Amino acid sequence: MLSRFAQWLSAEKQLLPHTVDAYKRDLEQFHAYLHEQYGISEPHQITKAIVRSWFVSLNEEGFQPVTLHRKRAALSSYCWFLAQVGYYIAVNPADVELPKPQKRITHVAKQSSVLALLDDHFPDTRKGHRDYTILEILYGTGLRRGELINLTIQDCQGDNLKVRGKGQKDRFIPLNPTLREWLPTYMSLERSYRPLDEHSHLLVTDKGKPLYPMYVQRAVKQALQRYTTLKQNSPHQLRHAFATHLLEQGADLNAIKALLGHEQLSATAHYIHSSIKHLKAVYQQAHPKAE
């Protein structure tokens, strides 16, 4: 049944592969708990009390609230799916209260640091070209890691980048002059290593396979460590920097929302906190009551 659920998540809900994999792992963990603690396996036997006991055990094991909320989302979706395919579930047992995740303050790399990083000397090798391309795209477009990995040659032609985001929804992001000049050069360099057509992945390993998440993670971390003292050196750091630096330059929050591919403005508003000093400065300069 988990396999059918995973297929449904991919085909109907159109979740990204890493999200589907995370949900599967969560549910496998829940099934193991049911078997070990209660000796049950039938969906109609699951109650809110049992679900609460699972979350209590996870909390005692040290799982963070944000992880618990994801596991609840996985279980809630699974129970809804089971009800749709004919299993009797009177009330969704995953509808339980959990501790609220603490809001974490993300420290964002300064514009000067990121620009210095991109002006750095990258080796004139296939790996050097690839790593530079990763960094330029992440900071120049604000893509998620999965969106970057899934880019094709066709997506990167012209003045705009075509991005397949969450929910398989397309959006278009303008390419800055650096990317407009570099991407054709990068594609030309890649042709000496592999045949390219419109459906080829833009970024591949030396063996010609699509990049894997850990490669991108490692490339970004190694690069950021050279120019910042940040503890958070993930690809998302460059996405956050993209949004924050746009905001600091006066970009409209709704425009940033569209560029990031957010459904709700509340998700984009998360990036405001790191620019509060800038917003205060704007207020002081612009508001008639600020003096």
Q: What fold does the segment set 111-285 form as a domain?
A: hpI Integrase; Chain A (1.10.443)
pLDDT over 70 percentage in the chain: 89
Are the C-beta atoms of 46 and 53 separated by less than 8 Å?
no
Mean pLDDT, to the nearest integer, of 265-283? 66
Q: Which residue has the tokens 């969450």?
A: 166
* Residue ranges, CATH 1.10.150, the chain: 2-84
Q: What is the pLDDT of residue 230?
A: 79
Q: What is the pLDDT of residue 54?
A: 92
Question: Which amino acids are annotated catalytic?
Answer: 144, 166, 236, 239, 262, 271
Q: What fold does the segment set 2-84 form as a domain?
A: DNA polymerase; domain 1 (1.10.150)
Residue 85 to residue 43: CA distance in whole angstroms:
12
Residue 52 to residue 37: CA distance in whole angstroms:
13
Q: Which of 38-52, 128-142, 193-207 has the lowest mean pLDDT?
A: 38-52
Q: Which residues contact 242 (CB under 8 A, 6 or more apart)?
A: 138, 139, 140, 141, 142, 259
- Going by pLDDT thresholds of 50, 70 and 90, the confidence category of residue 286 is low
Q: Which of 58-72, 144-158, 163-177, 265-279 has the lowest mean pLDDT?
A: 265-279
pLDDT over 90 percentage in the chain: 43
| DSSP of 228-286 | ---S--SHHHHHHHHHHHHHHTT--HHHHHHHHT-SSHHHHGGGGGGGHHHHHHHHHHH
Q: What is the pLDDT of residue 126?
A: 96
Average pLDDT, the chain: 86
Predicted confidence (pLDDT) per residue in 136-145, tens digit: 999 999 999 9
Residue 115 to residue 214: CA distance in whole angstroms:
24
SS3 state of residue 39: coil
Structure tokens at 57: 């055990």
Closest CA to 202 of 109, 121, 136: 136
Confidence check: pLDDT of 277 > 80 = no
Q: How far is CA 20 from the centre of its chain?
A: 13
Burial environment of residue 96 by CB neighbours within 10 A (0 to 12, 13 to 18, 19 or more): middle
Mean pLDDT, to the nearest integer, of 205-234? 90
* Residue ranges, CATH 1.10.443.10, the chain: 111-285
Residue type, 7: Q
Are the C-beta atoms of 193 and 202 separated by less than 8 Å?
no
Query: What one-character DSSP code corresponds to residue 157?
Result: S
Predicted confidence (pLDDT) per residue in 11-24, tens digit: 877 777 888 899 99
Are the C-beta atoms of 219 and 131 separated by less than 8 Å?
yes
